[in-house]
Chain A
């Protein structure tokens, strides 16, 4: 177990030294901040549309409006905030997916290409320990990414006093599960194919394109239920049971992919 954590720590360190990856994470984080800022600006502009006398008195805006204006303003603010939250979610989800694909599709192959894997595996490290360590290292980076984006939303919603969609209470978790699923598929495929091809295939490997009568529907991962973009826009909530079931599905799927990856990695020649 100790060896797995040592490899994970090394992998984490290596990932944080990848300029492209850190840049990508910063861009994704920047997009989150950008949408949060827009959320704040939207709220201000909507308020300004209905604020006819705020410059004249110090009283709250709502106190100067009639009931109809108040209702219109509430609706407009709600629509604006919902749309922005939806776009924020889509941006951070897409950014996170790209980060996950990049991390996991290169986790092992980059070390094979550079030749550094030779020294690590010449130590008493089994391939299971190596692969598990690599996955854990990537997972740690994904946790940081998820925490950063979640923290950004909380900070901006607190500072702008915008009511967050209740869907966002579990959306980051489902997004994280989906990214780990994507990552595990990318890791498996990267042991057969070029990492870039593996990443692209993993991204489009969902069963969303197939009907339930097609066997591929049951073979390919089901990413769609993890995507709550529509739910944010429509305000439809998912039950707690559904969230738990989706988590279990993701866990099952990741374990299966990792077992397949291990099977492949045991036979894989680790010399470029």
Chain B
């Protein structure tokens, strides 16, 4: 089952109460599926429509076109929110509570059983290093502490789906590392995680699949391997006849012969296709294939259009 599904989801904003829809749309016809148990990275430059998508998924804003579902139910049903935890981009919390009091309020809203509420809150406060600040007013929390408290409220009811919008924006490197460890633990426990982030290394280290958005449009979606356009790599061959070696040398690949082992360094996808055909023709199976995929950063920058040159 899909944890998140959108179909032609779009959002435009009106100039005023009765004004015409303004172009460009913040989100244009997004069709996306996030499977249960998947860790999904949602990437894009500022203004790409990431937060708009999240707000639509939470039914905090209404779509201009299209529909969205969480666990097969329309997002407009508040009941489905029982299975979801949300951490917004800028964590704004009720500052008239203490950290503990705020978590108790949200736990009550989430119908966390009274007998498990206190231990669960204590566990989360400890996990997120907020134990000492539990009885301090939220108004006195630092940005990083607010972020961690926001994360605690998202995990109160151990949700099946976590929607995290720039979750580590206010965290220091130590906090980021701890956060990544928590995410990996949640991932191993089969939770679905939907992360919108600018920190590509973070997404790369935890996500199974990523989607790249630009100017409200979905540009690419898939695993890192699927998205990697570069098919450069190496083939290791043994017992290659001379005729085949000559044929290989005629391609743009770089051939190295060492103690009977041939290493073919392939620069691109086109050369790889030629070499694969050649080997099939002579009935040679490579002993080992090493394909180098692009880093997420390379994929990201090759996907989004380069900025116009400065005159």
Q: Is A121 an interface residue (CB 8 A)?
A: yes
> In the assembly, what is the distance between CA of A139 and CA of B259, in Å?
88
Contacts of A269 on B, CB cut-off 8 Å? Answer: 60-62
> In the assembly, what is the distance between CA of A119 and CA of B55, in Å?
11
Contacts of B92 on A, CB cut-off 8 Å? Answer: 114-116, 118-119
Contacts of B274 on A, CB cut-off 8 Å? Answer: none
Structural contact, B109 and A6, CB atoms closer than 8 A:
yes
Within 8 A of B (CB), among A40-99: none
Q: Is B105 an interface residue (CB 8 A)?
A: yes
In the complex, what residue of chain A is closest to B55 when comparing beta carbons?
Answer: A271
Contacts of B58 on A, CB cut-off 8 Å? Answer: 118, 121-122
Contacts of B62 on A, CB cut-off 8 Å? Answer: 267, 269
The size of the chain B interface, using a CB distance under 8 A, is 29
In the complex, what residue of chain B is closest to A126 when comparing beta carbons?
Answer: B78
Contacts of B55 on A, CB cut-off 8 Å? Answer: 118, 271
Structural contact, B109 and A124, CB atoms closer than 8 A:
yes
In the complex, what residue of chain A is closest to B105 when comparing beta carbons?
Answer: A10
Within 8 A of A (CB), among B94-123: 94, 96-97, 105-106, 108-111
Contacts of B42 on A, CB cut-off 8 Å? Answer: none
> In the assembly, what is the distance between CA of A115 and CA of B96, in Å?
15
Structural contact, B109 and A115, CB atoms closer than 8 A:
no
Task: Using A119-B86, A270-B60 as known contacts, say yes or no to A124 and B94 having CB atoms under 8 A apart.
Answer: no
A-B pairs with the 7 shortest C-beta distances?
A115-B92, A17-B96, A122-B86, A123-B109, A126-B78, A269-B61, A124-B81
12 A-B pairs whose Cβ atoms sit less than 8 Å apart in the complex:
A3-B109, A10-B105, A116-B92, A116-B93, A119-B92, A121-B78, A122-B81, A124-B78, A124-B110, A125-B109, A129-B78, A192-B17
Q: Which residues of B contact A (CB under 8 A)?
A: 17, 55, 58-62, 78-82, 84, 86, 88, 90, 92-94, 96-97, 105-106, 108-111, 150, 153
